[in-house]
């Protein structure tokens, strides 16, 4: 303990000698005053780590003193102590941002508990996080050594994300590198799991409960079952939303919505908007989209937008599933779009099914690659999450969610794919017809190390279109990204430590689908 200094203001301070002796024996430095004005003067002239403030004192009240103390030092924690249990006093105190509220008579242990919670919280949380992760570390490691089915992968990934966010919210625990290594082990095993099972998954029946819910059956299995006939319903698809990013915006959303179900589904390959999001809206794998819709499918080589027909795909799927309704479709790609969407909300809540595609997070990911300033703002995964949260708290999207909650509208939040932090370049060679994506390649001829990639020699096996008769696909795994031998060092350095998508990793493929009901 680093000599924590406490100010205690109470007009009956002489009756609290036992409490003061108890705290001094515990090593705390306690200064006492018997009125609110002296408490204000003491805070103005001295540093304190914590203030105990009696509500009912001669002169100015504790609430009046609290207001001035907060103006002098807004960060100092203040504990209000009162004999009264009247609601308005408690509400006024809480509204003035007190740190704790105690009702007399208080015993020394209550006081000590409040002190520890407010002054030693970070250390206690850090020690708790460290101890609990150490206990879970072995269990997670043993899980990777077992035969892992789909439910185990979902649960294990949720645990890893939980520990990432827990460690990021506490001080240095000394366990961050161990967790990072364990996550790398997880991605290595996940790559093996996908190589072994992916083709079977995409060829299985959509009603096969043993197979993961995936992009092309997400609407049927994950979204439509949440909608009640005749009631308004909103689908919010946030492009490129990782599960850890969902967890950092969850707290604010939970102020307005109750989480009915927090699930994870498996994005198809390639984990890009062109393939995964079109699969969600059409209810079909990309090869079947091309066969059904012809020129409405765009291959990688084709010019122009690759997701121009999502509304058409979605309403075609809703018709095939005999839902009896169409979807109103809105795509938000910039702030002006977002503000226009908010203005439309009073009219939209009367619709049976509304789909909003929100592109900001994907834009943020690409901006981070291309902008030096954005790289500095989001230099690692914790900073990337923090930047996502900061954007969300000031976004029209949060305004939309608040409004929908006030109108008692049920919503589902999901995404098309995630992204992964890449740091290991691997060499490939291909012709000019190859794709520019750093996590997957498709071309007529690709030279690669088979041990480093998941290769699909015939795209039709993976239900993907062929650009050419001899086209094939390769997908990078773990934290790898593809570079060409020409000017290798330049591109390896430029793209190292960026967030990319298109390949195989837990962060890209294990993505959230969240069902929410208004509180």
Domains along the chain with CATH numbers: 5-119 (3.40.50.2300), 123-194 (no CATH), 216-420+507-518 (3.40.720.10), 422-500 (no CATH)
Rounded to whole angstroms, how far apart are CA atoms 429 and 423?
A: 19
The top-scoring range by mean pLDDT among 108-112, 167-171, 409-413 is 409-413
pLDDT surpasses 90 at 375: no
pLDDT surpasses 60 at 218: yes
Indicate the pLDDT class of residue 304, thresholds 50, 70 and 90: confident
pLDDT at 213: 97
Of 22-26, 304-308, 373-377, 500-504, the range with the lowest mean pLDDT is 373-377
Rounded to whole angstroms, how far apart are CA atoms 366 and 389?
A: 17
Rounded to whole angstroms, how far apart are CA atoms 297 and 141?
A: 43
Average pLDDT taken over every residue of the chain: 90
pLDDT at 56: 87
What's the rounded mean pLDDT across residues 5-12? 94
pLDDT surpasses 70 at 34: yes
pLDDT at 174: 76
Cis peptide before 496 (omega within 30 of 0): no
CB 281 within 8 A of CB 216: no
What's the rounded mean pLDDT across residues 192-204? 96
Q: Choose between 85 and 334: higher pLDDT.
A: 334
pLDDT surpasses 80 at 172: no
pLDDT surpasses 70 at 404: yes
pLDDT at 207: 66
Q: What are the residue ranges of helices labelled H in 204-242?
A: 218
Indicate the pLDDT class of residue 206, thresholds 50, 70 and 90: low
What's the rounded mean pLDDT across residues 310-316? 96
Of 52-56, 80-84, 226-230, 271-275, the range with the lowest mean pLDDT is 80-84
Q: Choose between 3 and 92: higher pLDDT.
A: 3
pLDDT at 305: 84
The answer to whether the Cα torsion of 232, 233, 236, 242 is positive or negative is positive
What's the rounded mean pLDDT across residues 230-251? 96
Share of the chain above pLDDT 70, in %: 94
Length of the chain: 519
pLDDT at 293: 95
pLDDT at 85: 62
pLDDT at 486: 86
Rounded to whole angstroms, how far apart are CA atoms 235 and 329?
A: 10
Of 112-116, 225-229, 361-365, the range with the lowest mean pLDDT is 361-365
| Tokens found for residue 53 | 């403030």
What's the rounded mean pLDDT across residues 227-254? 95
Per-residue b or e along 120-153, where b marks 16 or more CB atoms closer than 10 Å to that residue's CB = eeeeeebeebbeebeeeeeebeebeeeebebeeb
DSSP, res 458: S
* Number of CB atoms found within 10 A of residue 50's CB: 21
pLDDT at 434: 87
Share of the chain above pLDDT 90, in %: 68
What's the rounded mean pLDDT across residues 52-78? 89
Specify the pTM.
Answer: 0.84
pLDDT surpasses 60 at 1: no
């Amino acid at each position: 303990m680093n000599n924590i200094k406490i100010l205690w203001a109470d007009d009956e301070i002489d009756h609290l000698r036992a409490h003061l002796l108890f705290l001094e024996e515990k090593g705390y430095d306690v200064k006492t005053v018997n009125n609110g004005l002296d408490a204000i003067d003491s805070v103005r002239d001295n540093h304190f780590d914590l203030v105990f403030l009696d509500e009912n004192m001669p002169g100015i009240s504790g609430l009046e003193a609290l207001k001035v103390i907060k103006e002098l030092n807004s960060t100092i924690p203040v504990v209000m102590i009162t004999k009264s249990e009247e609601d308005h006093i408690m509400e006024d105190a809480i509204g003035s941002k007190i740190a704790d509220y105690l009702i007399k008579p208080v015993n020394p242990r209550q006081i000590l508990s409040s002190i520890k919670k407010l002054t030693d919280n970070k250390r206690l949380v850090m020690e708790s996080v460290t101890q609990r992760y150490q206990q879970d570390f072995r269990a997670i490691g043993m899980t990777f050594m077992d035969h892992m089915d789909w439910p185990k992968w979902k649960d294990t990934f949720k645990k890893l994300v939980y520990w990432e966010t827990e460690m990021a919210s506490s001080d240095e625990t000394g366990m961050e590198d161990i967790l990072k290594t364990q996550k790398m082990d997880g991605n290595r095993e996940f790559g093996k799991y996908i190589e072994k099972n992916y083709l079977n998954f995409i060829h299985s029946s959509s009603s096969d409960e043993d197979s993961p819910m995936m992009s092309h059956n997400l609407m049927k299995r994950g979204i439509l079952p949440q909608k009640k006939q005749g009631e308004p319903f909103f689908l919010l698809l946030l492009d490129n939303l990782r599960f850890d990013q969902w967890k950092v915006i969850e707290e604010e959303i939970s102020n307005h919505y109750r989480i009915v179900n927090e699930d994870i589904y498996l994005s198809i390959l390639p984990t890009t908007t062109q393939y995964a999001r079109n699969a969600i809206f059409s209810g079909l794998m990309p090869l079947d989209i091309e066969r059904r819709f012809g020129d409405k499918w765009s291959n990688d080589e084709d010019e122009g937008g690759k997701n121009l027909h999502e509304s058409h795909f979605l309403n075609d799927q809703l018709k095939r599933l005999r839902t009896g309704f169409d979807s109103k479709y809105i795509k938000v790609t910039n702030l002006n779009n977002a503000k226009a969407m908010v203005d439309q909300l009073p009219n939209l809540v009367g619709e049976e099914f509304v789909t909003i595609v929100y592109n900001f997070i994907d834009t943020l990911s690409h901006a981070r690659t291309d902008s030096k300033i954005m790289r500095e703002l989001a230099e690692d995964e914790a900073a990337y999450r923090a930047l996502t949260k900061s954007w969300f708290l000031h976004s029209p999207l949060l305004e939309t969610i608040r409004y929908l909650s006030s109108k008692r509208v049920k919503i589902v939040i999901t995404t098309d794919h995630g992204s992964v932090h890449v740091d290991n370049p691997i060499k490939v060679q291909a012709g000019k017809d190859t794709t520019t994506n750093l996590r997957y390649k498709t071309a007529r001829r690709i030279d690669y190390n088979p041990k480093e990639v998941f290769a699909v020699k015939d795209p039709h096996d993976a239900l993907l279109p062929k650009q050419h008769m001899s086209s094939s696909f390769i997908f990078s795994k773990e934290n790898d990204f593809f570079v060409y031998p020409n000017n290798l060092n330049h591109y390896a350095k430029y793209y190292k430590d960026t967030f990319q998508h298109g390949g195989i990793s837990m962060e890209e493929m294990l993505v959230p689908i969240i069902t929410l009901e208004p509180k």
